[in-house]
Chain A
């Protein structure tokens, strides 16, 4: 049930390829003019400890297949967790039954054959971790102990957990394209609770990597979780005011997600974006470059081909502050009269180039304002860019942190926030596929007491 070292990955991959081929043949037998299918299979282990004891041991074993059939320009889809031959037939039959009722949509088709990935480059994504339950528990306990021992104000814990996943993915379509690859992902995280007087706070830290040796040391993760938690104790509220806001690196990722949502084909063709018709427009100051690296070795979001089988490639999304491309899959691209940008399934390994300022210099640049370290809620209106979210962080005066802040909101408009970006720091210090330093925004409304 856990990661199997005995069964050859190549054999398992070959079996999944056969499933995809069988799905495509079955679709053809049932009369489809074209089809595409993907099959995934993953195994893994997750252990959680709390207060030094095992809390849960979970053995992961997920299978899934999805198929889309085309009858000319009508399509239907089905998915199932069952990979047996009978389930494959049922899934194709269900997809075909759906396609009887969908209507002609000239954009409902496979990606152009010339865009298909010609080879599947090895991106160094597969590093299985043959760790047993006892060793996994020991590492999680070490992580939690480092957090609990870090400061006497750490009085309780939500625990630490370790996860290791091994997955196989195969995609194929009736152009004759079929590609698959194995990958792994491992993680270690810790969440603890600090108390002082009436104030109780929780915070966490984590590490995530394709290879176990790339994970942060357990003790470091624990110590960082603890330090973040105690720093939040005795937070104060602020009076309502307009001030500069620094989004610390780990929460600045949300602003990049807002950008990607607004330049994604699905939002654009539905006119549900605040960045309609922004191609080649200046949406950020000139110093901003944002780029995607889908072929990054060991990258957490790396993939040799996208969800439509299209070969991925590195590209700039924003250069000199100007929007260079939308983020399109085959369907949304067609709706906008553009080719796919190989982004079926999203963007992969996004980076905004760092500026010259480190964290301390950014705070000095801000002078007086709010450094945000946590955001709550979903307050982004993608149609207008109006932005309003719950926040916590630190009040800064003369470039120095004064005290923690909680129970305030910050509000503005994302389009204006992009235009009024003062600096991006050279202080990216968190794990994940999105790389960014902290963002200093000229001014936002902070609501509080």
Chain B
């Protein structure tokens, strides 16, 4: 049984009376002899958010979005139009606009039919309804109380709870209909602590493609509150960060943002097809130290970056990007895969129906090695241990990337020492991965908080890695 497809038909097509015959006619308007590919992406989204601040539930918002994006591809040319009205005349008008790039005649008829369903990675539920509003409020109050009770130096607490229900339906030009019902929940806790005239901030959170019960399980939400306070108090003690190039040990989990920036973006198909990436044309070459294996895997059940199908209807997969240090593959959407003569990898993603798909990451992580994390830290005489990070950024052409440590400590004589202030770390992607000299046995994925931006489009992603030693990385502190 294809639950997602039935749900998507019911929630998107039925209310506006779009029949399979209408879909066939729309495809006929888009496709034709000169057209290499065409598709229609229907989307219906609901998002509810709540915020607690100063101990009061102050704000809540409910967002409703729906529409369809229609795309026509001829060679390397793409025509695109979208509509927030789903009635046939509005979609037909959008189809006309999208087709202006195609010069040839029309004439395309296929039978619209269900595509074989992809493996279920998350339940086809609406997480907004998974908890009563009163219980959501109660959860935020408990989080607020937990943070305030954790330490008398806590001055301000802000916490948010977001649940989103995203239903998508992709009609490809072969007439196949693929659907996905995507729940996504997210919580964030942010605190300000103050002592002796010094103030610092700490934040923590997590999320997944599941229901809101996720935050109640294992006291997860309360754990975020305690972690935010711990991070803020650690910063309160932090001294000037060092400046210069030194050995850096990265903790497991979220520090995997290193991989996302240093190699992930540079291995997206579009940049490599166009030859604009520092990794272009290097398949089969050594780009990382032996032992380094990096994958992009959209099939992990329930993860924030996971998708049953991508936004072009392709089932997601595990794609090996780097295997034992050798560059093995790129992440592809349909357009770039076709132009490069390879198969799509289920990485065609878009922010919404009003945006064009492009190759994007899902969950990107490095596989575990065999070193004990304690042994890795003990191997460093003088360096930095970075346990937590904020965001990062990369220039895919030069390969230069940055990521910002938010929790870091000096390593002196093989021991973790004093905490140091947040600092930006900078490196060169293709170079830095060759300097990975020790890989821990403690692979961990992040808590489910990542959002990746590319060309102005945001999508949820995951990262992960084991503890890593990088022999030389530049640390941007002030203590020279």
Contacts and interface: CB of A to CB of B under 8 A. Distances in A.
Given A101-B134, A389-B424, A202 B398 contact: yes
A23 to B, nearest CB: 14
Interface in A379-419: 379, 381-384, 386, 388-390, 392, 406-413
A122 B80 CA distance: 34
B201 to A, nearest CB: 5
A79 interface: yes
B61 A61 contact: no
Interface string B83-95: 1110000000110
Contacts of B56: 103-105
A447 interface: yes
A386 B58 CA distance: 30
Contacts of B480: 240-242, 445, 447
Contacts of B76: 50, 53, 55
A421 interface: no
A260 interface: no
A276 to B, nearest CB: 8
Interface in A80-116: 80-82, 87, 90-91, 94-95, 97-105, 108
A34 to B, nearest CB: 16
A80 B58 contact: no
Contacts of B276: 156, 158, 193, 202
B258 to A, nearest CB: 13
A152 interface: no
A410 B423 CA distance: 10
Nearest to A82: B84
Contact of B66 (A2, A59, A81, A392): A81
A54 B79 CA distance: 10
Contacts of B199: 271, 383-384
A62 B194 CA distance: 44
A80 B77 contact: no
Contacts, number: 251
Nearest to B81: A59
A192 B391 CA distance: 26
Nearest to B80: A58
What is the interface residue range for chain B against chain A? Answer: 35 or more
B476 A103 contact: no
A1 interface: yes
Given A376-B395, A390-B426, A271 B60 contact: no
A411 B101 contact: no
B402 A389 contact: yes
A256 interface: no
A377 B158 CA distance: 24
A53 B475 CA distance: 42
A272 B476 contact: no
Interface stretch (A70-78, A139-147, A303-311, A360-368): A70-78
Given A270-B192, A388-B423, A59 B201 contact: no
Contacts of A91: 62, 64
- Of B396, B428, B474, most buried by chain A (CB within 10 Å of CB) is B474
Contacts of B425: 409
Interface string B61-72: 111111100000
Contacts of A59: 80-82, 94, 97-98
Contacts of A80: 63-65
A1 B94 CA distance: 7
B126 to A, nearest CB: 14
A350 to B, nearest CB: 22
Contacts of B402: 376-377, 379, 389-390, 409
A410 B474 CA distance: 11
A138 interface: no
Contacts of A383: 192, 199-201
B400 interface: yes
A55 B358 CA distance: 13
B403 to A, nearest CB: 7
Contacts of B194: 271
Contacts of A412: 478
B278 interface: yes
Contacts of A1: 81, 93-94, 96-97
B81 A270 contact: no
A386 B478 CA distance: 10
B390 interface: yes
A201 interface: yes
B427 A407 contact: yes
Nearest to B472: A449
- Of B80, B134, B155, most buried by chain A (CB within 10 Å of CB) is B80
B21 to A, nearest CB: 24
Contacts of B97: 1-2, 59
Contacts of A2: 97
Nearest to A95: B62
B201 A381 contact: yes
Contacts of A55: 76-78
A95 B49 CA distance: 11
A386 B421 contact: yes
Kindly list the 5 A-B residue pairs having the minimum CB-CB distance in the complex, ordered from nearest.
A409-B476, A98-B60, A390-B402, A202-B397, A94-B62
Interface of A: 1-2, 50, 53-59, 61-63, 75-82, 87, 90-91, 94-95, 97-105, 108, 133, 156, 158, 193, 199-202, 232, 235, 240-242, 270-272, 376-379, 381-384, 386, 388-390, 392, 406-413, 445-449
11 contacts: A56-B80, A58-B80, A78-B64, A81-B66, A101-B136, A158-B276, A200-B278, A379-B476, A390-B476, A408-B474, A448-B244
Given A55-B77, A377-B393, A445-B477, 18 more contacts: A1-B81, A1-B93, A54-B101, A59-B80, A81-B66, A98-B62, A200-B278, A242-B480, A272-B156, A376-B400, A378-B391, A386-B421, A388-B476, A390-B401, A407-B400, A409-B476, A411-B241, A447-B477
